[in-house]
Structure 1
Amino acid sequence: MALLSPEQVAAQKANVDAFFGVAGKIFEGVEKLVALNLQAVRATLAETQENMAKASGTTEPPQWFSLQAGFTGPFAEKSLSYGKQVFEIASTTQAEVTQLAQTHYERYNDRVQALVEEAAKHAPTGSEAAIAAWKSAIAATTTLYETLQKTGQQAVHAVESNFDAVTATASKAVRNNSEQAPVAAGAKR
């Protein structure tokens, strides 16, 4: 039976800590989504009850149509707000997980570089090319990781900007429609 070296034990502990750190952040994100969904369901039920009470009190068709038009605007605004909150939760969770992964990667990369440096000190004569190849591979991997990370961040920022633009446009359209709906309902009378 082989015992683990102190370095292997430390590496395993770091991996377990990283796993539970990421799992904890993901769980926090899911918890926020569940809370948001419960809040949305409660609000929707309360509004539905209120709207049904208002609708049952109408006696004229134009009143009913005007009332229905009044429900559309707030519902659309709340839907947009809900979508934005879901996106913010997902974006925050993704950023936290990315930060944890980056920290873990940097620690791992530092350990690998230290291992290569230690191996280079004790390497036999003539192994300089192999050590240089290791160092080159580590540098290439680091560069690739940093490039992928920057590309991912740019993609997230682009999606965030597009989402904000779409939300603003949709919100403006909803406001315009809700302002025009009572006027149109009053014109049909």
Structure 2
Amino acid sequence: MSSVPQHILANQKATVDNFLAIQEAVFNGFEKLVDLNLKVARASLDEASQKTQEALSVKDVQEAVNFASGLVQPGSDKITAYGKQVYDIVSGVQSTLTKLTEEQIAQAQRQLDETIDQIAKNAPTGSEGAVALMKSSLATATSAYESAAKVARQATDAAESNFAAAANATIKAANDAAEATKTATRARRAPASEA
């Protein structure tokens, strides 16, 4: 026979399960980041080797200019893609942690509500006002939490929009820079060939 009520044991088990789920989410996110960084490092080494071979095979100025201008665009695209992948991983971990935290808070609110109900059942006559005050305080705290959670979700959505806009602006700037380099090169060569 156990002197600990079963609902307390169930609540403790749920808390431990939640803690383990949080640890797993953080570890999985870390594992994804390490895997991404290893893939990026490997791809960078392979690309550096390939670009070195291409650079060694350049024969004239025009090929050198084309080679140099071709280096700008793929690099910026890769940096943007890498940033997006990191953001997606971190966002996924954050989403999982938010969900687990919300579940934990909802569980704590249910426990507190059950405790207040138990107090109300066992409270002496005349303490209805105190019980009503506790229930009102719990409802106010729940409402404040829900408002804060809503604001946090809106902030996350705004951050995602800003990230997408910044990524698009970076790609456009890299494209513009590559095009300007090509145009400047053509302009420099034009007077030389006319002479």
Taking structure 1 as the reference length, the TM-score comes to: 0.91
More divergent stretch after superposition (124-133 vs 145-154): 124-133
Residue 165 of structure 1 aligns with which residue?
Answer: 165
Deviation at 1:39, TM superposition (A): 1.3
Give the RMSD, CA atoms, in angstroms: 1.8
Q: Relative to structure 2, which stretch is displaced further, 142-151 or 127-136? A: 127-136
What's the CA shift for 1:156?
A: 0.4
- Runs of at least 4 residues of structure 1 off by over 3 A? 2-5, 59-63
1:41 alignment counterpart: 41
Unaligned segments of structure 2, at least 5 residues: 190-195
Give the Å deviation of 1:70.
1.2
Shift of 1:92: 1.6
Task: Return the letter of the residue paired with 1:168.
Answer: N
1:10-68: CA deviation from partner (whole Å, max 9, x where unpaired): 22211110101111111121121111111111111111111111112224345334312
3-state SS in 2 of match to 1:188: helix
SS at match of 1:151: helix
Q: How does 1:116-155 map to 2 (within 5 A)?
A: 116-155=116-155
Match of 2:90 in 1: 90
> Equivalents in 2 of 1:181, 1:28: separation in Å?
43
Counterparts of 2:42 and 2:87, CA distance in 1: 20
Q: Which residue of structure 2 lines up, in the alignment, with residue 28 of structure 1? A: 28
User: Percent identity between the aligned chains?
Assistant: 35
Query: What is the CA–CA distance in structure 2 between the aligned matches of 1:185 and 1:89, rounded to whole Å?
Result: 40
The 2-side partners of 1:187 and 1:145 are apart by 62
Aligned residue in 2 for 1:187: 187
**1:167 is matched by which residue type in structure 2?**
A
The code of the aligned residue for 1:25 comes to A
Native 8 Å contact 1:33 1:86 kept in 2: yes
Higher relative contact order (CA 8 A, sep 6+): 1
Matching residue's letter, 1:135: K
Q: TM-score, normalised by structure 2?
A: 0.88
Residue 7 of structure 1 deviates from its aligned partner by: 2.8
Task: Give the superposition deviation at 1:134.
Answer: 1.2
Q: Structure 2: how far apart are the matches of 1:184 and 1:66?
A: 12
Q: Larger C-alpha radius of gyration, 1 or 2?
A: 2
Separation in structure 1 between the aligned mates of residue 183 and residue 3 of structure 2, nearest angstrom: 81
Task: Provide the C-alpha distance between the structure 2 equivalents of 1:159 and 1:67, rounded to a whole number of angstroms.
Answer: 36
SS of match in other structure, 2:68: helix
| Preserved contact between residue 25 and residue 96 of structure 1 (Cα < 8 Å) | yes
Q: Which has the larger displacement, 2-11 or 13-22?
A: 2-11
Once the 2 structures are TM-superposed, how far is the Cα of residue 80 of structure 1 from its aligned partner?
Answer: 0.7
One-letter code aligned to 1:77: D
Alpha-carbon distance in 2 for matches of 1:174, 1:166: 12
- SS, match of residue 80 in structure 2: helix
Cα deviation code 1:76-107 (max 9, x no counterpart): 11101111111111112111111111112112
Counterpart CA distance in 2 for 1:126 and 1:65 is 89
